[in-house]
Chain A
Amino acid sequence: MTATLTPPSIPSLAVELRGLVCTFGTVKSGTVKSGTVKFGTVNAVDHVDLEIRAGEFYSLLGPSGSGKTTCLRLIGGFERPTAGQIRLFGQDVTGQPPYARDVNTVFQDYALFPHMSVLDNVAYALTVRGVDKATRNKRAGELLELVKLSAFASRRPAQLSGGQRQRVALARALVNTPKLLLLDEPLGALDLKLREAMQTELRSIQQSLGITFIYVTHDQGEVLSMSDRVAVFRDGRIEQEGTPQDLYEYPRTAFVADFVGGANVLPGALVGRVGGRFALRPERVEVSADGPGLNASITSVHYLGAQTRLELDANGVSIHALIASSRKFTPGQTVNLRWDAADLRPLED
C-alpha cells in the first residue's frame, strides 16, 4: 500500500457536518422541530455546520459543556444526531455504527483493554479484521516503535504511566491507518512538561502520516500551537472558525476575544470610538508612568516570570496589560495607557 501521489479521486473534504443537532433529555429524536427547544432538554450540539479538509489538524475549542465531546462522538458514531447530516470523505455515514466508519478515537480516559498486553491492545483493530497473528504483531510492533514503547510490548496497561498509556492509545488508534483520528483532550491527564512534549510529537506524527486529526480541548494555548484551523464552540454552536492567527488577531465576538488569549473587551466610548465594543490584546497595551494616554490606576500586579500582568482600572472599566517584568509598577500607582489604533478590533454584538 504505497501511495506516492494522492489520487485525484480522493475527496478533499474529510468531514462535512450539515445542520447537525444533538438533543439530550426527554424529547425523543425526530420530534424536535428545528429551532424549538422544549423544557427539560439540552441541545448539546445545536445546528453545527462544519467542513474539515483532508490532512488538516483541526481543533474544537470551547469551555466546559459547550458540546465539543458530543460533536466528536457524533462523528465517531457513538451518539445519534437528532437532526442533520454527517459526511466523511464524501460518504453519508449519518446512520452508521462506529465499527462501519473509517474513524478511530483516542479516548480521554484512554480506554485501554486491561486484560490484554500492550501489544494485543495495539493490534486489536487488526485482530477483529482477521489479520493473521504474525502480520498484526509486526504492524503493532512498528506502531509501538513510532510511539517509542517497543520495550513495553508485553506489559499490561496497568503497569504503565499515564503518558505511556496515552501513547499506547495513540498507537492502537493508528494501527489500521484510519483516514480520520478523533482525539478528546488526550493530554488532559498529563503534567505540563509531558504535555508540551506530546503536543510536538502529536503534530509531527500527524504530519508524517498525513491523517486528518480532530482535536478537542479547552486549552487555548495548546490549540494555537498545534492546529491548522480551529472552531470555537459556545453553547453547542460554533462561535467562530479560522486559523489560530485569525482567531487571535481578529476575534469577531467578545466571547472569542476573551476565550482565545484573554483580550480586553472595551466599550467604544472609552477608546475614543463611537459606540460598539473593541478587543485589545493585553500585550498591545503600552503602560507608562507619564506622558499622554488614557488615565488608569493599577489595582494589582501579578508576576508571571518573563512577563508581569497588571490589572488596571480606567474610568470604572477594568483592563489588564502584559508587560516585561523588567519594568516595575506598584498597586495604587496612576499610569497612562496607549495603544496603536490598528490593534483595536471591532466586535460584533
Chain B
Amino acid sequence: MRSERSSWGLRVAAYLGVAFLHIPLLLIILYAFTSEDRTYTFPPPGLTLKWFGVAFARQDMWAALWLSVRVATVATLIALALGAMVAAAMARARFRGKDSISLLITLPIALPGIVTGIALLSSIKRAGLEPGLATIVIGHATFCIVTVYNNVVARLRRLSPSQLEASQDLGARPFQTFRYVLLPHLATALLAGGLLAFALSFDEVIVTTFTAGAEQTLPIWLFGELFKPRQRPVTNVVAILVMLVTLLPILLSQRLTQGHEEMDGAGKST
C-alpha cells in the first residue's frame, strides 16, 4: 500500500523531531548520576546516586521548593476563582467590544515574560509593595488565570442554555443549578485548567525574577546554582524534580480534557 510507505518516511521525521526535543532532557537525567562533578564529559566516567543525597541535604533547596509549592498553589486558587468568574461573565454578557476584552484577558499568556515582568515591577514599586510571596503570586496569577479562563470558556460554549433553564424550571434555586448542573459540567475543565496553571507557575523564571525580590523559588534557585563551579549534578537532580512536578499535572490535564479539544494556553511563550 502506498500510504504505508509514505507513513514510514513520516515516522522517521517524527522520531527525529522527538529526539531533537528530548535528547537534552535525557542528558539532564543522565548527568544527575555522573560521578564527575565539574564538567559534563561524555560518556560519564561513572554512575552514582550520591548527588540525590547531596541535593536533599541542602536546606536552601527545600526552602525554595516550599516557596514554589506555596506560590503555585495560591496562584492556582486565585486563577480558578477569577478565571472561572470571568469566563462565566463573558459567556453570559453580550456587549460591544466583547472580543477585545476577551483578547485582553488572554494576552498575558502571549506577552513575553520580560514585558510582563517589567510592567509588574514598576506597578509594584509604584504601589509601594514589598517584593515577596504576595508579589510573586500576583505575577503568576496574571498568566495562570488565562489557562483556567480558556478551559472554562471552551466548556461553557458547549453548555446549551436550555440545560440551565431546565434546572430552574424543575424547581432548582440558583445555587442548586450551580451545584447540580453547572459545576459538574465544568468540573474537569476547572481541574485541567488548574493543573496547567500549577505547572506553569511552578517552573516560571522570567516574571518571577522581577517580582521575587530576595526570595528564591525553585527555578530561580536552580538558575543561581548553575553558575557555581562545584556540585553541578545537584542542579540536574533538582531539574528532574521540577520536570516531574510540572509534567505530571500537564499529562493529567491532557487526559481530563481528552475529546474536548480545549487545551488552549497549555504553553506560555518565553
Q: Which residue of A lies closest to B166 (CB)?
A: A111
**Given the complex, which residues of A lie within 8 Å of B171, measured CB to CB?**
99, 125, 128-129, 176
* Given A78-B165, A127-B180, A104:B170 Cβ within 8 A: yes
Known: A124-B180, A127-B180. A172 touches B160 (CB 8 A): no
How far, in whole Å, are A78 and B168 apart by their CA atoms in the complex? 9
Is the Cβ of B173 less than 8 Å from the Cβ of A99?
yes
Q: A127-B180, A128-B173, A128-B180 are in contact. Are A111 and B160 (CB under 8 A)?
A: yes
A125 touches B184 (CB 8 A): no
Contact call A113/B181, Cβ cutoff below 8 A: yes
Alpha-carbon distance A97/B176, docked complex (angstroms)? 14
Tell me if A109 is interfacial: C-beta within 8 Å of chain B: yes
| Cα-based distance from A79 to B166 in the complex (angstroms) | 14
CB closest residue in chain A, given B162: A111
The range of chain B's interface size is 10 to 19
What is the interface of chain A mostly: helix, strand, loop, or mixed?
A: loop
Query: CA of A109 to CA of B172 in the docked complex: distance in angstroms?
Result: 19
- In the complex, whether B167 has a CB less than 8 A from a CB of chain A is yes
Proximity string of chain A (217-245) to chain B, C-beta cutoff 8 Å, 1 when within and 0 when not: 00000000000000000000000000000
B163 contacts chain A at the CB level, 8 A cutoff: yes
Instruction: Name the residue of chain A whose CB is nearest to the CB of B165.
Output: A78
Are A111 and B168 interface neighbours, CB within 8 A?
A: no
Q: Indicate whether B185 reaches chain A with its CB closer than 8 angstroms.
A: yes
A residues 107-166 in Cβ contact with B at 8 Å:
107-109, 111-113, 115, 124-125, 127-129
- CB distance A98 to B165 under 8 Å? yes
- Taking the complex as formed, is A103 at the interface, i.e. its CB lies under 8 A from any CB of chain B? yes
Residues of chain A within 8 A of B180, CB atoms compared: 113, 124, 127-128
Q: How far is the CB of A172 from chain B (nearest CB, A)?
A: 7
State in angstroms the CA–CA spacing of A76 and B185 once bound together. 24
Q: From A169, which residue of chain B is reached at the shortest CB distance? A: B166
CA distance A269 to B170 in the complex (A): 56
Is B4 located at the chain interface by the 8 A CB criterion? no
Given contacts A115-B184, A127-B180, A128-B173, contact A109 B168 (CB under 8 A): no
Please report which residues of chain B, range 214-267, place their CB below 8 angstroms from some CB of chain A when the two chains form the complex.
Answer: none
> Which chain A residues lie closer than 8 Å to B160 at the CB level?
109, 111
Q: For B165, list chain A residues within 8 Å (CB).
A: 76, 78, 98, 105, 107, 111
Chain A residues within 8 Å of chain B by Cβ, number: 24
Q: Give every chain B residue within 8 A of A112 (Cβ-Cβ).
A: 166
Q: Are A107 and B170 in contact (CB under 8 A)?
A: no
Using a CB-CB cutoff of 8 Å, which residues 167-201 of chain A contact chain B? 172-173, 176
Quick one: CB contact mask for B158-192 with A, threshold 8 Å, 1 for yes?
00101101111111110010001100110000000
CA of A105 to CA of B168, assembled, Å: 10
Q: Chain B residues near A104 (CB, 8 Å)?
A: 169-170
Q: How far is the CA of A124 from the CA of B165 in the complex (A)?
A: 13
Q: Report the minimal beta-carbon distance from A270 to chain B, rounded to whole angstroms.
A: 48
Task: Find residues 61-115 in chain A having any chain B CB closer than 8 Å to their own CB.
Answer: 76-78, 97-99, 103-105, 107-109, 111-113, 115
Q: How far is the CA of A127 from the CA of B160 in the complex (A)?
A: 21
B168, B176, B180, B185, most chain A CB atoms within 10 A: B168
Selected from B169, B172, B184, the residue in CB contact (under 8 A) with A105 is: B169
CB of B181 to closest CB in A, whole Å: 6
Which residues in B have their C-beta under 8 angstroms from that of A129? 171
Which chain B residues lie closer than 8 Å to A109 at the CB level?
160, 162
Residues A124 and B167 in contact, CB atoms below 8 Å apart: yes
Cα distance, A348 to B163, chains bound together (Å): 43
Question: Are B172 and A128 interface neighbours, CB within 8 A?
Answer: yes
Contact B169–A99 (Cβ < 8 Å): yes
- Quick check: B170 and A172 within 8 Å, CB to CB? yes
How far, in Å, is B161 (CB) from chain A's closest CB? 9
Q: A111-B163, A113-B163, A115-B184 are in contact. Are A128 and B169 (CB under 8 A)?
A: no
A127 to B173, CA, bound (A): 12
Q: CB distance B168 to A107 under 8 Å?
A: no
Distance of A172 Cα from B176 Cα, bound (Å) = 17
- Please list the 7 inter-chain residue pairs (A to B) with the smallest Cβ-Cβ separation, ordered nearest first: A111-B162, A111-B166, A125-B170, A98-B168, A128-B172, A115-B184, A107-B162
Beyond A78-B169, A113-B180, A173-B169, list 14 extra A-B contacts (CB 8 Å): A98-B165, A98-B169, A103-B169, A107-B162, A108-B162, A111-B160, A113-B166, A113-B181, A124-B167, A124-B170, A125-B170, A128-B167, A128-B170, A128-B173
| 8 A–B contacts, CB within 8 A, in A order | A76-B169, A77-B169, A111-B160, A111-B162, A111-B166, A113-B163, A113-B166, A173-B170
